């Protein structure tokens, strides 16, 4: 999906139907896909297949406020809700189970405002129809604005779309990296609670990606996370 380009023209197609069509066209086994009533009307011209699906899910997020992601499960691609997948990573030693997050190695933490947007401007037919701002962040960092375009038939959804986008983007991005003893259940999209006093990693973090390695019988995982 990351390697292939495609052209699609969707006109009032349900988001879940659009995703299923794309996956079928590329012979990707389909797992579970939630029912999305969000209507997709957009032309994708020579875009990466994975980017097309991500854009469809982005439109779902704007309409519903819920974030979804692709995940491979047992050789099939599923669409899963990003929130609410919190797990407690564990490992066993001499028959005793321990919390993996109690033994953190090589921690690092970074705060960044590069991707912050604290003002959302909504445009319809080349006219600005509304602007939503996060006044607290705007006062602190200055105006960082993004413009989104909507179809005239979706004007009623403009405020909701703008607020959803603002909720996602008006923030200081906090990322972290830790090395833990391994748990096969830890994968992208899962949530781990981290409490590491030296770097200040102290919250629930979504796993962005994880690398599992086994050396001399010891299972370790390097976890990149985002708050």
Q: What residues are paired with 111 via a beta bridge?
A: 174
Looking at the chain, which runs of residues are DSSP E strands? 5-14, 39-48, 68-73, 76-81, 90-93, 96-99, 105-112, 119-124, 127-133, 145-149, 173-181, 191-196, 201-215, 218-226
Quote the pLDDT of residue 192. Answer: 93
- The Cα 84–Cα 91 span in angstroms is 22
Quote the pLDDT of residue 84. Answer: 58
- The Cα 93–Cα 10 span in angstroms is 53
What does each C-alpha distance from 132 to 49, 118, 122, 127, 156 come to in angstroms? 31, 8, 8, 15, 15
Residue 41 in contact with residue 12, Cβ under 8 Å? yes
**Confidence (pTM):** 0.61
Quote the pLDDT of residue 115. Answer: 87
List of long-range contacts for 136-140, beta carbons under 8 Å, 24+ apart: 137/170, 137/171
Give per-residue burial for 120-150: e unless 16+ CB within 10 Å, then b: bbbebeeeeeeebbbeebeeeeeebeeeeeb
**Which residues have C-beta within 8 Å of that of residue 118, sequence separation ≥ 6?**
133, 134, 137, 138, 141, 143, 144, 145, 166, 169, 170
Quote the pLDDT of residue 156. Answer: 83
* pLDDT tens sequence for the chain (227 residues): 888 999 999 999 999 999 999 999 999 999 999 999 899 999 999 899 999 999 999 999 888 888 898 888 888 999 988 765 788 999 988 889 999 999 999 999 999 998 899 999 999 888 888 899 999 999 999 999 999 888 888 788 888 888 888 988 999 999 999 999 999 999 888 899 999 999 999 999 989 889 999 999 999 999 999 98
- The Cα 87–Cα 220 span in angstroms is 17
């Amino acid at each position: 999906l990351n390697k292939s380009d495609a052209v699609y023209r969707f006109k009032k197609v349900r988001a879940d139907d659009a995703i299923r069509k794309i996956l079928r066209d590329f012979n990707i086994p389909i797992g579970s896909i939630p029912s999305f009533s969000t209507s997709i009307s957009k032309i994708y011209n020579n875009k990466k297949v994975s980017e097309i699906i991500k854009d469809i899910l982005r439109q779902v997020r704007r309409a519903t406020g819920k974030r979804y992601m692709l995940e491979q499960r047992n050789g099939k691609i599923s669409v899963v809700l990003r929130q609410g997948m919190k797990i407690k990573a564990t490992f066993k030693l001499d028959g005793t189970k321990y919390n993996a997050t109690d033994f953190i190695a090589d921690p690092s933490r970074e705060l960044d405002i590069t991707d912050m947007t604290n003002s959302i401007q909504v445009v319809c037919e080349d006219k600005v129809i509304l602007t939503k701002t996060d006044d607290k962040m705007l006062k602190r960092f200055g105006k960082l604005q993004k413009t989104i375009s909507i179809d005239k038939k979706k004007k009623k959804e403009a405020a909701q779309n703008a607020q959803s986008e603002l909720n996602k983007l008006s923030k200081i991005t906090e990322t972290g990296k830790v090395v833990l003893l391994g748990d096969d259940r830890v994968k992208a999209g899962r949530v781990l609670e981290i409490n590491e006093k030296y770097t200040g990693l102290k919250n629930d973090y979504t796993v962005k990606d994880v690398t599992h390695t086994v050396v001399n019988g010891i299972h370790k995982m390097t976890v990149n996370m985002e708050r």
